[in-house]
């Protein structure tokens, strides 16, 4: 069935940030906005960098009952006390990652514009499926997801669906009735006032 309540907010970190300064910005956002989950999505593949960032964000997120997942680095989840991981390459590794992390961990999959990938991820046991980008953005190969996919998914599939990549005020208005989560990230971090930018883009909610 279609989403009759308003979607929850799924926050994506910037690809790089200064720990001390960003921590204050994040705390301000989480204190002001109801965020369900945060994804640590760093450009760096260095595990020490990821671990330091995760340690810092985990304290801020968990103090506010916000789940924290890490992008792709699933072997760090248990070591760092995180809630799960987000797989950016669809369901390819999902079965192995679920076996590794167990049933309690949150595991989500980015499936681009592919309904088939989304269905496969749902069947294997993803906790959520992300489709995007919803408009032209740096995400993916330039193709944009057909917004009808969200309406179909919400009607037919029980696995929660996330809209990601290039959200605008108008897209938030269109997608709110047919998504479980709206993923906000690059849309706000370029602003000098990310919280104000977030409030503006989410105004239709």
**Tell me, what's the pLDDT at 136?**
80
Domain containing residue 110:
8-201
Dihedral angle of Cα 11, 12, 18, 21, to the nearest 10 degrees: -10
Residue 132 in any domain: the answer is yes
Residue 72 in any domain: the answer is yes
Sign of the Cα pseudo-torsion (44, 46, 52, 58, in order): positive
Nearest to 117 by CA among 75, 80, 87, 82: 87
Rg of the chain (C-alpha set): 16
CATH number for the domain including 112?
3.20.20.70
Residue 2 in any domain: the answer is no
**Tell me, what's the pLDDT at 143?**
87
Dihedral angle of Cα 63, 34, 85, 27, to the nearest 10 degrees: -50
Question: C-alpha angle with apex 100: 8 to 78, nearest 5 degrees?
Answer: 65
- Per the structure, the count of domains in the chain is 1
From the first residue on, what is the mean pLDDT of each consecutive set of 10 residues in the chain (205 residues)?
Answer: 73 94 96 97 95 96 98 96 97 96 97 97 97 81 90 96 96 97 96 96 95
**Tell me, what's the pLDDT at 142?**
74
Residue 133 in any domain: the answer is yes
Residue 73 in any domain: the answer is yes
> Residue 57 and residue 68: Cα distance in Å, rounded?
8
**Tell me, what's the pLDDT at 139?**
61
Residue 127 in any domain: the answer is yes
Main-chain phi, psi angles of 78, to 5 degrees: -70, -40
């Amino acid at each position: 069935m279609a989403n009759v309540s308003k979607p929850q907010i799924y926050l994506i970190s910037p690809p790089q940030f200064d720990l001390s300064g960003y921590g204050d910005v994040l705390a301000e956002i989480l204190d002001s906005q109801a965020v369900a989950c945060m994804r640590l999505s760093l450009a760096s593949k260095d595990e020490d960098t990821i671990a330091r960032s995760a340690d810092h964000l985990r304290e801020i997120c968990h103090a506010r009952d916000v789940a924290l997942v890490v992008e792709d680095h699933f072997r760090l989840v248990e070591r760092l006390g995180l809630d799960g991981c987000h797989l950016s390459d669809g369901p390819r590794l999902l079965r192995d990652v679920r076996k590794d992390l167990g049933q309690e961990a949150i595991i989500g999959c980015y499936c681009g514009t592919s309904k088939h990938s989304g269905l496969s991820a749902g069947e294997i046991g993803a906790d959520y499926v992300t489709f995007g980008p919803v408009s032209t953005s740096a995400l993916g190969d330039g193709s944009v997801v057909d917004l009808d996919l969200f309406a179909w998914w919400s009607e037919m599939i029980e696995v929660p669906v996330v809209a990601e990549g290039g959200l605008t005020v108008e897209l938030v208005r269109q997608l709110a009735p047919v998504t479980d989560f709206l993923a906000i990230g690059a849309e706000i971090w370029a602003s000098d006032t990310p919280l104000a930018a977030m409030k503006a883009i989410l105004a239709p909610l």
